[in-house]
Chain A
Amino acid sequence: MGGGSPPQLEILSGEERNEKGDVVTGYAVILFILIGLTILLIAMFAFRPSVTSTLTGKILAFTALCILPSVCLAMGFQVHMDRSKQTQFCTSCHAMAPWGKSLDVDDPHHLAAAHYQNHSVPTDQACFTCHTTYTIFGDEAAKLKGLKHIYMQYIAGPPKVIHIFPPYNNRECLHCHSGMRVFEESAMHAGMMDQLKTNTLSCLTSGCHDVVHDTPDLAKEKLWRPGQP
C-alpha cells in the first residue's frame, strides 16, 4: 500500500463520515427552486383568488395547487430515498456508530472494512450496497425495513444485541461477485458454486468469510486512516 505519492481517496474516517452529510445535491437544488416557484404561484392565488375566474386562471390554479405539489412530493421522495442510501445517513444513528467504525478497521480479513477501504463498494453507499436486497423493489423494501429501524431507535429502543433481521442471502454477494473472474476461477469457489448460488451454503457463516463487522472486538482493532501508513 505504501510507496510513492498516496492516491486521492474519498474515504472518510468514522467521525468525518458522521459530520459530512451530503444535504443538498444538484437534484435537490432543482427541487428547492421548484418548491419556491410553486409557493409563489400558490401565494398569488391566495392573495388574488379572482384570477381563477378565467379559464387560464383555472388551469393555472389546478397546476399550482395539484400538479406542481405532486411533482414536489415525488421529487422529495426521491431525494429522501437517495439520501437514505448514504453511509453517513446509516451511521448517523448512535446505535450504528460501531458498525460505521468497523469500516475503518485496518485488517483485510474484515470483510466490510476490506470492501469499503478498497472501493469494492461505493464508499458513499457502503452500507446500502451490501444491505439492500437485489430483487424487484428491493431498494424500496430495504427502506421500508429502515422505518422499522426508526421505530426501534425512537420508540421501542434499540435491542441490547443488534443483529441483522433475516439471514444474509448470498444473492447480495453474488450480485457483484458473480461473473467476476477472480471469483469464478478460484478453485475454492468453483467447487461449491452451486451451493453458493442456491444459497444452501452461506458465504458468511460457513467459516470462510465469517469476520464481517466484528463490533464486539472493535476496541482491540487498529483503525486505518486515509493517507496514513
Chain B
Amino acid sequence: MKFTALGFNRLLRISAVFVILGLAVETGSLLWFHPLSFVTFALLGGLLILTGMAAYLFSVLLFAASPNQNTSSNR
C-alpha cells in the first residue's frame, strides 16, 4: 500500500491520534503516584508521542515531494 494513497489529511489525523493518546497517557502517569508511572510515561506515552511526531514529519516530507497528491482522500 502506498502512503500517498492515504492522503495528507488522513496521515495528519493518524499522527494527531497518536500524539493525543500519548499526551493522555502522560497525564495519567503524572496523576498516578506509583513507581511504575515513570515506566508508563517513558515506554508507552513517550513511544506514542514520538510515533505521532514521526508520522506527521513523514507525511510532511512525503507530500512535500509529491504536492499534487496532497488533497487526495478525505477532507
Contact = CB atoms under 8 A, between A and B. Distances in A.
Interface of A: 21, 23-24, 28, 31-32, 35, 38-39, 42-43, 45-46, 49-50, 52, 61-62, 65-66, 69-70, 72-73, 76-77, 79-80, 83-84, 88-89, 92-93, 146-147, 149-150, 153-154
B9 A32 contact: no
Contacts of A89: 33, 35
Interface string B36-58: 11110110011001001100110
Interface size class of B (residues with CB under 8 A): 35 or more
Given A38-B23, A42-B19, A46-B17, A65 B33 contact: no
B52 A45 contact: no
B23 A31 contact: no
Majority DSSP secondary structure for residues of B touching A = helix
B13 A46 contact: yes
B27 interface: yes
Interface of B: 8-9, 12-13, 15-17, 19-20, 22-24, 26-27, 29-31, 33-39, 41-42, 45-46, 49, 52-53, 56-57, 60, 75
Contacts of B56: 61-62, 65-66
- Counting chain A CB atoms within 10 Å of each CB, the highest count among B13, B22, B37, B49 belongs to B49
Given A28-B30, A76-B30, A83-B33, A52 B41 contact: no
B74 to A, nearest CB: 8
A92 B34 CA distance: 7
A194 to B, nearest CB: 40
